[in-house]
Structure 1
């Protein structure tokens, strides 16, 4: 499939208001529709990955809310309407209820999702 709406994409991760819908969309890339409620800090779920951060690059657009991204070079904030590139080594924190759509390399992001799902199970 080369096109998908949010409702076409299955839920890969959910709980406590966090929802990550993810599916391959072609040429080794996946699309994700992500919702994070205000106050969500992904840091604890990313513990154990390299540098305790997401090792996968993402390209996307923040549709709603505000996100603080902790990176090795400091913190940056993103707000609704901004397109972004997040390099490997980031940890998102939702400053407001946030929704975004992003594109990632399928294999790399699958490893991150599997790690986060396993962390939730502990």
Structure 2
């Protein structure tokens, strides 16, 4: 017999305990708990998967010599930009040196535009 499950079987949110930070010249530090909703978690996961697929395609295009010069890939670091983007405001600035494809996507630039820039088609 095969058991079926639906979305009602899953929790709608998760709570995480965070290690307390050492403070320097601050009275209060960040919260030691964080709550993530199911929708937020799915959004983060989808964003990380999209970045990984974009980077794998970039690697393929680089090996085919369609992307010229250097191509510093971001695969394996997707959670960094997704987590940072979740913690800051849309009006905050992000400065990167290179490997910025993930940050660029997380900040709202479509995959098509990022790949166009890498291939010189924009």
TM-score, length basis structure 2: 0.26
**Greater strand percent: which structure?**
1
- TM-score under structure 1 normalisation? 0.26
Q: Which has the larger radius of gyration?
A: 2
Between structures 1 and 2, the one with greater helix share:
2
